[in-house]
Chains A and B, each alone.
Chain A
């Protein structure tokens, strides 16, 4: 969020504040680890995510926040890892004890934190109606396709919406004044960590499928909530084009960038950092000054 996904963070904070929500950054946060440990005996890989939850506890104890135990994640991969580890230790006292023992220089985690994704805050706390109210520049029939990826919806205990037919991002698009372009590949895995190393074609191939799926339904652009998906679908389009010469590129935005745009805060949307530049398209639709 501080490097490759700067625009995600900036647009998120801007949109949130407009909606009356203050996103307080966790002091001394550490990397959550990006992927969940899936073996039954692993304790080590839970330490990183849980330590962040301890921070939330500390923020309450130190008075930085008042009785606020919700940890809001922007990146859906982080959301998945944090929520999964949280559920694991809440339901397995033995595991919680072991993790706390490992982190002997930190206060014990007491299982009080709730991990939520920013989209859930939009849906459940702020409400899409309020989002609609704040729209200064309705998206003018811009056809947007939602891309969920894996980590927002799966596994079922973690997912913020139905794994097979989610609607939360589509509701956001509609609230912002856009039109929804359905995509049968809306939750097809982008290829994730295969973007590193010798299997990049796997990612490029997925990008091909996902973007074409959206295009066939008339989409102008894609929105996503995960920096890895964004990288894979955005930056890797170069490789996709090399593999499939007829492929037409499509801009990929963070959902918060779309929100910033609709709220009239183009500067905070950070379009400079998008690989496939969305500005020509947006200018053409009258959504950006020429």
Chain B
């Protein structure tokens, strides 16, 4: 397997700035300690770890937008209350999701879930649609 090389270009710097603007958090504060990863209840299901999400955000690597991880996040805020630098990671992952959702690319399709609606409580449907659609 070849070593992957990423050329850091203007578009990466722009992505980093966009993430900071949308989230209101300074991602360069992250010192990559990994506490968020081990606090995250969903970390085992993710393809990149939460600390990895932060690292890719710092460098503006677009791979982070294509990751499964940001959609597996359940916005439980455990990372936020544990981060020793005081970064609100939940806001950062939200920003990453929003970048895609605001391009009118939804994560779930209403048609896929309309059959189970009768079995689901309103709270589940509302929260899922709010999080996963633009």
Touch A–B, Cβ below 8 Å: yes
Binding site for B on A (CB under 8 A): 3-5, 31, 33-41, 45, 75, 77, 150, 153-156, 163-164, 187-189, 191-199, 202, 206, 227-228, 231
A39 contacts across to B, CB distance below 8 A: 22-24, 91, 94-95, 98
Are the C-beta atoms of A193 and B74 separated by less than 8 Å? yes
- The interface-forming segment of B6-14, B56-64, B75-83 is B75-83
Residues of B close to A75: CB separation below 8 A: 123
Over the window 1-42 of chain B, the binary record of Cβ atoms lying under 8 Å from chain A Cβ atoms (1 yes, 0 no) is 000000000000000000001111000000000000000011
CB A166 to nearest CB in B, in angstroms, measures 12
Rounded to whole Å, the gap between the CB of B75 and the closest CB of chain A is: 6
Q: Which residues of A contact B74 (CB under 8 A)?
A: 150, 189, 191-194, 202
Structural contact, B127 and A35, CB atoms closer than 8 A: yes
A-B contact pairs, 28 of them (CB 8 A): A34-B127, A35-B130, A36-B75, A37-B94, A38-B94, A39-B91, A39-B98, A40-B21, A41-B21, A150-B78, A156-B81, A163-B81, A189-B42, A189-B78, A192-B75, A192-B127, A193-B128, A195-B124, A195-B128, A196-B113, A196-B124, A196-B128, A197-B128, A198-B108, A198-B112, A199-B45, A231-B121, A231-B123
**Which of A34, A153, A154 lies in contact with B123, CB distance below 8 A?**
A34
Taking CB atoms, residues of chain A closer than 8 Å to B81 are 153-156, 163-164
Across the interface, do A193 and B131 meet the contact criterion of CB distance under 8 Å?
yes
**A134 CB, nearest partner CB in chain B, Å:** 30
Chain B nearest CB, measured from A47 CB (Å): 13
Residues of A within 8 A of B48 (CB): none
Give me 15 other A-B pairs in contact (C-beta within 8 A), A4-B122, A39-B24, A196-B125 excluded.
A31-B122, A33-B130, A41-B22, A77-B123, A150-B74, A155-B77, A193-B124, A193-B132, A194-B128, A196-B120, A196-B128, A197-B113, A202-B45, A227-B123, A228-B127
Q: How far is the CA of A75 from the CA of B124 in the complex (A)?
A: 13
Residue numbers in A under 8 Å from B88 (CB-CB): 38, 155
Which residues 90-131 of B sit at the A interface, judged by CB distance below 8 A?
Answer: 90-91, 94-95, 98, 108, 112-113, 116, 120-128, 130-131
Interface of A is mostly: loop
A227 and B98 contact, CB distance less than 8 A: no
* A104 to B77 alpha-carbon distance, docked (Å): 33
On chain B, the residues within 8 Å of A227 by CB distance are 121, 123
Q: Given contacts A34-B130, A196-B108, is CB(A150)–CB(B77) below 8 Å?
A: yes
Which residues of chain A are near B124, meaning CB under 8 Å? Answer: 193, 195-196, 228, 231
Asked whether, in the complex, the Cβ of A189 is within 8 Å of the Cβ of B41, the reply is yes
Instruction: Report whether A154 and B76 are in contact in the complex, using a CB–CB cutoff of 8 Å.
Output: yes
How distant is B70 from chain A, measured CB to nearest CB, in Å? 12
Q: Which residues of A contact B24 (CB under 8 A)?
A: 39-40
Tell me which residues across on chain B come within 8 A of A45, comparing CB atoms: 130
By a CB distance below 8 angstroms, the chain B residues around A33 are 126, 130
Distance between Cα atoms of A69 and B33 in the complex (Å): 43
Which single residue of chain A is at the shortest CB-CB distance from B79? A154
Q: How far is the CA of A54 from the CA of B75 in the complex (A)?
A: 27
| Cβ-defined contact, A193 with B121, below 8 A | no
Residue in chain A with minimal CB distance to B112? A197
What is the minimal beta-carbon distance from B74 to any residue of chain A, in angstroms?
A: 4
Bound-state Cα–Cα, A35 to B130, Å: 7
Interchain CA distance A194-B120 in the complex, whole Å: 12
**Chain B residues with CB below 8 A from A164, complex form:** 81
